[in-house]
Each structure stands twice: as C-alpha cells, then as structure tokens.
C-alpha cells in the first residue's frame, strides 16, 4: 500500500484537476454525522476518506454534527462519535461545528427564498403532502397554498418561529417543480414545527430545518470544497445545487457521491442496530458482535486494521458487498505483526506427569514472537501438573490424529515430549484427567533424533491464571441480513460462547498493556477490562485462520 491514506480514485482525480486548473488552492472536506446513534463500519469508510484526504492534501477536515432532528439526538452519541474518530487516528483540531450553529443564518436564507417567491408555507397535513407529491409514475399536485403572496408567507413563517402554531400544522416548502421527474425536487419541505429540547440550542427554537436545506448551506458557510457523500444522495444533488444557486452566498461546494461500505453478515443501519440494543439482543452499542466502531474497538480490532481495510476496499461508485474475510484478514495481518504470543488453554483438561518430581518447578524460556526477535523472551513455569486443551486428547484415535491418545508421544510447546499412558474418567464416562510420562532429555530435541508430529500448548496448573474467554461468531446467519424480510429472524443464536474456566499463563493478567495477544494455536484475544465481573475477561478478536470463506460459499 502507498503511504497515502486514500489510494487514487475518481475523487482524488477531481481534486487534482481542481487544484491544477486553479479552481481551488486549499481543500476543505467534512464528516457530518447525525448524533442519533453510534457509528458503524460504513461510517469508518467516510471518516477515512474525508479525514484521510485532508491529511494527504495537507488540508482541513471539519467534524460537523448534523443536529437538525432533536427527537433522536443526544450528547452521548456526539461524544461517542468523537471517540471513534480519534481512535481511528484522526482529529478535527479546532474545526468542530454543528448545523445548529447556523440556525439563525439558515432561517435568514429561508426568508430569502420566500422573498424571491421560491418558498411558501403549506397548511396541508403531512399525509396530504405525501399523497399529493405523487410517485415515479404520477406527477405531483400543486398545494392549494402554493400561490400565497410573499407577505403572507413571511407572516406565516415568522408566526411558525414564534410558536403560534401546533407541531405538524404547517411547514415551509421550497417552490420548485411538482412535475419534476426527480421527486426530491417536488417542493420539498425545508422547515417543520417541532417542539423538542435540542442538545445545543435548548428550547430556543420550535422550528427546525430539514437535512437537504441545512446540509448544503452548512457546507457553503464553512467553505467546504468537496462535499463527499454516499450514493443514496445522488438524487438529492439537484436540490443541493438549487438551494445554493437561489440564495445569496458566495461558496458553492461540489457534491460528489461514492458507494457505501457494505460488509457481509453485518447490518449498517443505525435504526436496525438500535433495535438490537433496545430488544437486548446484544449488550449495548459496543457489543463486540456489532458492526459499530465502538464494538470493533471493544472486541480488539486495531484501528490500523480498519484503516487498511477501507484503503484496500477503495473508493468507487460501484455498489458491492465486501466479504467479512477481507476485514478479518486485515485484522489478522496487523495482529500477526503486533501481538505477543502466549499460551492460553480455553477448555482445560488436567495432565499429571507421573515421573516428574512433585515439588519441582522449572522455568522454561519461550519466544514472545517467533518472527520478531525484538519482542524478546519470557519465562514460563513448568511443573508436574499441567492443563492442556480437552480436544488435544482423543480416545482410540486413528493415525491421523497427532495429539494425545494412549501410547502416543507429543511435544509440549517450549518444553518436553510426553507420552499419554492412561485417561481417568468420572462416573459419567467423561475424561477428567490424563496420566502421562515425560522424557527429561527431550527439551530441544532428543538424543536419538526421534520426531513427533504433534505439538500442543499447555499451562502449569499451579501457576495458571483463571480467566473468562468469550468466543464470537457472526451475529447473523444470512450474508445479507438487511435483505431478509425481518432481519431479526436471521440472528445467529450461537454468536457468543462464554468459556468461564479458561486458563492463561502467569504474568499476562497483571500487565497494563493495551495489546492483543495471540493465544498460540487458538486465536487472537484482547482483555475487555470495561466489562469484567469476578475474573478477567478476554474477547476473541479474530481466529487464526479465515472462518468466513466457507460460510459465504454456502450462503
């Protein structure tokens, strides 16, 4: 990958041409989220694009909250958005704005449109407006209030602002063309009455501007040069331009659309994500199974991996669904380089090494990263009783099973060869303990040069740190859950497996490092300190190998 945040694409080509022909000398972009929910992986694409372009062009990217709908907005959401952007590695500096910063100016521009005969107050009900708007095959019908005089419209609009009318009883509409083939141009509503407390302006306003009116003017006020948005706003661009062309403002940003980021087995609708939270199908917006940025952060995804993923996917106008494999590979590629190796046993099975001295503890040496010597070495205690994984033993195993079974020798990682002699069972027939012997001359190999095909990890029982491990699978069983009639029907009931009795080698739990670890032979894990109960919790970040390709072939 190049050193740039954003690889060359049709947007960078437009920017390069604008700079070359002198249209712009300085570039200004913006990221304009509505503070009505937590950001998801789709927003990560927009963040990396807008802030990344600003870095690549030594320019500025504004963070502007689109806070025009007080009914669903909160400071909690606003603060979470800031945290997500900073975690991804970007900063807006002093350029944090709000659409509500411009409410007075927006109101003034609305009066300008009225004075030019380009806006009118409509008394129709929302249902009548919707019905008279028509559809793709039926032209719209003019409102009976469309030809009100300028003076009457100004009087009515000012009365709306002063609180003389009930919520929903009147709206201000742009006067464009009810016959337009683009339904967005059929006299869109640009102001509505809504008595709601606003997170920024309190109770100062009882009318609020609509997004399509607010967004373009906010861009122009801030001097945005390139207003980048996803493809669903392509049909809104004529309205974006119409508003700016018909008010007295010097700046006219260029709106450019690009495709959304859709990832298989995920939902990227804040409304649907909110349903999951409200129905308690997940344990919050930051549940590690969620496609939210905060969920990915809690799970242990490195921000670098998300940036790399977005960069690899690229920017285009072509809609597509990106395989979860691509995202998880990006996570693996980073963690493979940055994650120290340790041994953790997820489902412990006790092993007694009968010929090892009972009171002996031996310190063995293990590499913290087999491909990077700079990670150094660590000491690992070894004793007579150890834990191994339950599935590292199989009774009456065939010749293709290279781990523990009666009479078979395996190598313990960083330690000795051991041979399984006997399995101890409980009353129900479950194997609860293995009796083994070891070859004291087998550290680092054997004198007779014999080889074993199986190497397994282990933990000294006397030194093991008990931890809870949480294994995550896809949240949805369908590769395109949004396409299912009721997306909740596609929820995977086995998306979370909690292992309360896992064991970790000593010295890891007490470390304050905010790092993910590779539990050798298992997966990558990161401690979830903010969601612990009576013991340390480690979330599975990603498996060692791709677990999605087969699922998506089946899907």
Q: Which residues are catalytic?
A: 34, 260, 270
What separation in angstroms does the CA of 139 have from each of 142, 186, 237, 251?
Answer: 10, 9, 20, 33
Cα first-last separation, the chain = 31
* Token reading at 384: 């007579």
Distance from the Cα of residue 234 to its chain's centroid: 24
Whether the Cβ atoms of residue 236 and residue 212 lie closer than 8 Å to each other: yes
Query: What whole-number distance in Å separates Cα of residue 273 and Cα of residue 282?
Result: 9
Query: What whole-number distance in Å separates Cα of residue 345 and Cα of residue 520?
Result: 9
Whether the Cβ atoms of residue 140 and residue 134 lie closer than 8 Å to each other: yes
Q: What are φ and ψ of residue 252, in 5° steps? A: -135, 90
Q: Which of 211, 220, 167 is nearest to 190 (CA)?
A: 211
Q: At what angle do helices 211-221 and 103-115 cross, to 10 degrees?
A: 110
* Token reading at 182: 């683009």
Q: What is the DSSP letter of 178?
A: T
| 263 strand-pairing partners | 322
* Token reading at 269: 């609708």
* Token reading at 543: 């498996």
Q: What is the DSSP letter of 523?
A: E
CB atoms within 10 A of CB 432: 12
Residue with tokens 């995202």: 327
Residue with tokens 């549940």: 287
Query: What whole-number distance in Å separates Cα of residue 423 and Cα of residue 436?
Result: 9
Which residues lie below 8 Å from residue 90, measured CB to CB, with a gap of 6+? Answer: 47, 48, 51, 52, 55, 61
Longest dimension (CA), the chain: 103
Alpha helices per DSSP H over 345-502: none
* Token reading at 387: 């834990």
* Cα-based torsion angle of the residue sequence 169, 175, 177, 182 in order, rounded to the nearest 10 degrees: -70
Query: What whole-number distance in Å separates Cα of residue 372 and Cα of residue 246?
Result: 62
């Amino acid at each position: 990958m190049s050193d740039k945040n954003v690889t060359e694409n049709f947007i960078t080509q437009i920017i390069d041409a604008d700079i070359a022909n002198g249209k712009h000398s300085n570039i200004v972009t913006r990221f304009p989220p509505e503070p009505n929910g937590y950001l998801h992986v789709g927003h990560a694409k927009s963040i990396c694009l807008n802030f990344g372009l600003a870095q690549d062009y030594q320019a500025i990217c504004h963070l502007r909250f689109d806070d025009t709908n007080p009914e669903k907005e909160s400071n909690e959401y606003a603060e979470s958005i800031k945290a997500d952007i900073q975690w991804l590695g970007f900063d807006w500096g002093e350029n944090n704005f709000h659409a509500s910063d411009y409410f007075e100016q927006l109101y003034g521009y609305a009066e300008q449109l009225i004075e030019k005969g380009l806006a009118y107050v409509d008394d129709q009900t929302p249902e009548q407006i919707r019905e008279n708007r028509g559809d793709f095959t039926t032209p719209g019908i003019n409102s009976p209030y469309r030809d009100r005089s300028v003076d009457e419209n100004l009087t009515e609009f000012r009365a709306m602002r002063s609180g003389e009318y009930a919520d929903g009883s009147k709206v201000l509409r742009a006067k464009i063309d009810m016959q337009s083939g683009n339904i967005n141009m059929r006299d869109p509503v640009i102001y509505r009455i809504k008595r709601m407390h606003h997170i920024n302006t309190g109770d100062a306003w009882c009318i609020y501007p609509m997004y399509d009116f607010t967004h373009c003017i906010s861009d122009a006020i801030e001097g945005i040069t390139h207003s980048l948005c996803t493809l669903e706003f392509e049909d809104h661009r004529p309205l974006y331009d119409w508003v700016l062309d018909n008010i007295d403002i010097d700046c006219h940003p260029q709106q450019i659309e690009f495709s959304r980021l859709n990832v298989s087995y995920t939902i990227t609708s804040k409304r649907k994500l909110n349903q999951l939270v409200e129905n308690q199908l997940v344990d919050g917006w930051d549940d590690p199974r969620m496609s939210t940025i905060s969920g990915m952060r809690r799970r242990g995804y490195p921000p670098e991996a998300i940036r790399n993923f977005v960069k690899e996917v690229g920017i285009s106008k072509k809609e597509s669904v990106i395989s979860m494999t691509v995202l998880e590979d990006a996570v693996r590629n980073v963690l493979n380089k940055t994650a120290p190796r340790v041994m953790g046993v997820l489902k412990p099975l006790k092993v007694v090494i009968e010929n090892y001295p009972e009171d002996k503890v031996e310190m063995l040496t293990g590499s913290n990263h087999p491909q990077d010597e700079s990670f150094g070495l660590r000491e690992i205690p070894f004793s007579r009783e150890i834990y191994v994984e339950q599935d590292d033993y199989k009774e009456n195993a065939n010749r293709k099973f290279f781990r523990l079974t009666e009479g078979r020798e395996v190598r313990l990682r960083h330690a000795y060869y051991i041979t399984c002699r006997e399995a101890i069972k409980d009353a129900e027939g479950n194997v609860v303990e293995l009796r083994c012997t070891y070859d004291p001359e087998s550290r680092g190999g054997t004198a007779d040069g014999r080889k074993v095909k199986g190497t397994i990890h282990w933990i000294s029982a006397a030194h093991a740190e008990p931890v809870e491990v949480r294994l995550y699978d896809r949240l949805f069983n369908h590769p395109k859950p949004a396409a299912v009639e009721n997306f909740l029907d596609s929820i995977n009931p086995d998306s979370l497996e909690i292992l309360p009795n896992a064991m970790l080698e000593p010295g890891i739990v007490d470390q304050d490092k905010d790092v993910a670890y590779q539990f050798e032979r298992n997966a990558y894990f990161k401690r979830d300190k903010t969601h612990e109960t009576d013991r340390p919790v480690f979330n599975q970040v990603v498996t060692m190998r791709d677990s999605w390709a087969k699922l998506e072939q089946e899907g």
